[in-house]
Amino acid sequence: MSKAAEELAARSIVIVGGTSGLGLSAARACVRAGAKVTLVGRTGDSAKLAQDELGEAARVHLGDATDPLVAAEAISVSLDAFGRFDALYHVAGGSGRRFGDGPLHEVTDEGVNQTLQLNLASLIFSNRAAVRAFLQRKTGGTILNMSSVLGASPSSHFFATHVYAASKAAVPGYTKSCASYYAKNNIRFNAIAPALVDTNMARRAADDEVIRQFIRTKQPLDGGRVGKPEDLDAAVVYLLSDASRYVTGQVLTVDGGWSVSEGQVSGETLR
């Protein structure tokens, strides 16, 4: 067992958006490292699959992360089931294209409101619930938030969803501000920023051969491929564990080289 895994053992972690994709992969990694997990998911089918797979190490709470009460409810589930609450990982979010997100001149009012609610308000709600629980119990704790490489390294041709970019760009600043304020309470805030990862949310891009060709030079590590959810797992375990006890207010970018690579787009593609 690794040092990080030893230090994660016996911890109780709430993962908001934990029944599929990045969240479920992280839940598996946390359970392997000895943690108990409480997962928030929206659909009964994915919740049942996650519960069946993870067994007694997990509890699943059905709810929508944009509901201000859901994270607090999940924390109560964690306390009731496992007797403790040590960390929160907020993964929930997604594309706002279906609501009208896109290039700024095309963005609809609904696109603004729904995309910010999905990616930023939900995160603030879950973080607020976690901090209140940590302060009430005087335990300290760890919060890990989900940003995106698109918040700092845009791709204007393939990924022009400007409200989504705004919501993800806000996460590092918000996380750092909270980290500064709550350090005295031994509550740590960090964020993780992936590039294109093959999840249901990213399926439009991940299945597009033109974008996959672009990714070969934009995410050049490991053969130039789309990321996998498990590519983030070691970073998540580290930032949730005592191995990172001296780390707060940081953003760890796990992007296959996206943010340091030009990513060639041919003239033919741009026409």
Which residues are tagged catalytic?
Answer: 164
Report d(CA 250, CA 188) in Å as an integer: 10
Cα 250 to Cα 78: distance, rounded to the nearest angstrom = 26
Instruction: Determine the Cα–Cα distance for residues 29 and 198; give it in Å rounded to an integer.
Output: 17
Q: How far apart are CA 251 and CA 232, in angstroms?
A: 13
Whether 146 and 90 have beta carbons less than 8 Å apart is answered as yes
Query: For the range 130-134, what are the long-range contacts, defined as Cβ-Cβ under 8 Å and sequence gap of 24 or more?
Result: 130/14, 130/71, 130/75, 130/85, 130/88, 131/178, 131/182, 131/187, 132/72, 133/72, 133/75, 133/79, 133/85, 134/85, 134/185, 134/187
Instruction: List C-alpha distances in Å: 234 to 3, 40, 93, 254, 266.
Output: 12, 21, 21, 10, 35
Q: What is the rounded distance in angstroms from the CA atom of residue 119 to the CA atom of residue 117?
A: 6
